Amino acid sequence: MRQTLVAGNWKLNGSKESIQTLVKGIADGMSGVGGKAVAVCPPYVYIPMVADLVEGANIGLGAQDVADQESGAFTGEVSAAMLKDVGCQYVIVGHSERRSIYGEKDEDTAAKYVAGQKEGLIPILCVGELLEEREAGDTENVVARQLDAVINLAGVESLADAVIAYEPVWAIGTGKTASPEQAQEVHAFIRGKIAALNEDVAEKVQILYGGSVNGSNAAELFAMEDIDGGLIGGASLTSEAFLAICTA
C-alpha cells in the first residue's frame, strides 16, 4: 500500500505573519489527517522559519525549486545542499510555471531532480500537458517526454526515491479540475510506463494529482487506484482549505 501524500505549494505567497497563522492552523488539525503524509513548500526565505514551526508536528517541508548546480557563481540560485541544511525533505522540480514562465526545459528539470536527490531530497517531479496538447491528443506523448528526460539522466530506479505529480496545466489555478477518471487515466499511463522498465519501482512510486484540488473534489480523486495524493496550490494557503483536503 502506498501512503497518501498531500503537499501544499504556496508559490509566491505569504508573509511572516500569515505563514505563522497558516502553519499553526495546519499543525492544530494534524490529528484529523489519519495516515496521510502532509508537507508544505514555502518560498525559500521562509523555509527556516517554517522548519521551526513544523518541528514535532509531523509536517514535511519542501522547496519549490532548486539550482541544478552545487555551488559557485550562480547569482540568485539556491542549492540542494542549502535546502537540506535548513531542514527540507522535499523539492518540487519542473512545475509548469517554471517550465512555461521561466523557460525551463525537460533537461533543466532533470538536472534539478538529480541535484536534489544527490543531497537526499525527495524530488516532487511535475509533469503535465497544456490544453492545446490535450486537445491534439498529445497528453501521453508530452508526459512520456517529460518523464523520459528524468529516466534517461537518473535511471528508472531513481523514481523509487521520488514523487511524481501529474498536473494538467489547464487545471492549475483555473478552478477546472480533471475528472477523477481523466486523472486516473494519465496516472495509470505513468505507472504503466514505469512498470515496463521496473515493476517494483512502479508499484512503489507515489503519483500525486495537482490542479484545482479542493476539499470538495479531493476525496473522489484520492479514491482512484493510481492517485496517491495531491499537490495543492490555491487551497493550501489557508489551514481550513488545506486541512479539508488532508482529511478528505
Only segment of 23-31, 105-113, 146-154, 230-238 that touches ligand PGA (CB under 6 A): 230-238
The answer to whether 229 contacts ligand PGA (rule: CB under 6 A) is: no
Q: In angstroms, give the least distance from the CB of 11 to ligand PGA.
A: 7
The answer to whether 62 contacts ligand PGA (rule: CB under 6 A) is: no
Tell me how far CA of residue 243 lies from CA of 2, 26, 65, 180, in angstroms.
20, 7, 24, 20
The answer to whether 116 contacts ligand PGA (rule: CB under 6 A) is: no
**CA–CA dist 8, 161 (Å, integer):** 19
What is the gyration radius of the CA atoms in the chain, in angstroms? Answer: 17
The answer to whether 213 contacts ligand PGA (rule: CB under 6 A) is: yes
In the complex with ligand PGA, the residue whose CB is nearer, 81 or 220, is 220
Q: In angstroms, give the least distance from the CB of 211 to ligand PGA.
A: 5
User: Which amino acids are annotated catalytic?
Assistant: 95, 167
Among 14, 60, 94, 210, binds ligand PGA (CB under 6 A): 210
**CA–CA dist 200, 38 (Å, integer):** 24
Among 62, 94, 211, 229, binds ligand PGA (CB under 6 A): 211
Among 104, 106, 167, 226, binds ligand PGA (CB under 6 A): 167
In the complex with ligand PGA, the residue whose CB is nearer, 47 or 235, is 235
Indicate the burial class of 161 (C-beta count within 10 angstroms; 0-12, 13-18, 19 or more): middle
Q: In angstroms, give the least distance from the CB of 15 to ligand PGA.
A: 19
The answer to whether 232 contacts ligand PGA (rule: CB under 6 A) is: yes
The answer to whether 146 contacts ligand PGA (rule: CB under 6 A) is: no
Cβ-contact 123, 117 below 8 angstroms: yes
In the complex with ligand PGA, the residue whose CB is nearer, 11 or 156, is 11
Only segment of 45-53, 61-69, 83-91, 211-219 that touches ligand PGA (CB under 6 A): 211-219
Q: Which residues bind ligand PGA (CB under 6 A)?
A: 9, 167, 172-173, 210-213, 231-235
